Amino acid sequence: MPLLGFFRRKGKEKETTETKKEQKGKPKPEVKTLLDELCKDDKELCEALSHALLINPESATKDGIETHAQKAEEYEKDQKTTYARIEYQFAGQIALHDGKLPLMQKYFKKAAEIEPDSPQKKAFEYLSKKENAEKAIAVAQEFYTKAKQVSKPPV
């Protein structure tokens, strides 16, 4: 009896691999996130904001921009470039959340300069340019507003 069960399983495995091959040929429906919808066709903006938006802005903004900027400067003095980049990035993210254009540009520029091998360097450089930063702030404000509406429990 066990041998028959063994042969039957192979038949089922062939069926499942055939159905998987059929599914590969079909295009998958594209799932759009809120960020994708807000950025529309601007892929660079979407990519940059995916690295810059805060997941939990209420808790992330408690310390303030100045605290993170000071920490970044201390790390920079101690030659801890990765830690400094992270703190500058965080200061830039808070400035983005608060809509403070000059500070956002300043801190994202520092984040891009301090660690040239960072995988997010391209996003930071993009956000440090004025016209891109203005678009980013507008989209980010809309994102945070809509995300807050979604996360609120019904009354």
- Sequence ranges of the domains in the chain: 32-151
Rama region for 99: left / alpha / beta (φ>0; ψ in -120 to 50; rest) = left
Highest mean pLDDT among 32-36, 116-120, 131-135: 131-135
- What pLDDT, on a 0 to 100 scale, did the predictor assign at position 81? 93
The pTM for the full model equals 0.76
- What pLDDT, on a 0 to 100 scale, did the predictor assign at position 28? 62
State mean pLDDT over 145-152: 78
* Amino acid letter for position 37: E
CA distance 88 to 107: 5
In this predicted model, which residue has the larger pLDDT, 11 or 33? 33
pLDDT digits (tens, 9 = 90+) for 23-70: 566 666 667 788 888 888 889 998 999 989 988 888 888 888 999 999
SS (H, E, C) the chain: CHHHHHHHHHHHHHHHHHHHHHHHHCCCCCCCCHHHHHHCCCHHHHHHHHHHCCCCHHHHCCCCHHHHHHHHHHHHHCCCHHHHHHHHHHHHHHHHHHCCHHHHHHHHHHHHHHCCCCCCHHHHHHHHCHHHHHHHHHHHHHHHHHHHHHHCCCC
Quick check: 1 pLDDT over 90? no
The mean pLDDT value of the chain amounts to 84
Percent of the chain surpassing pLDDT 90:
52
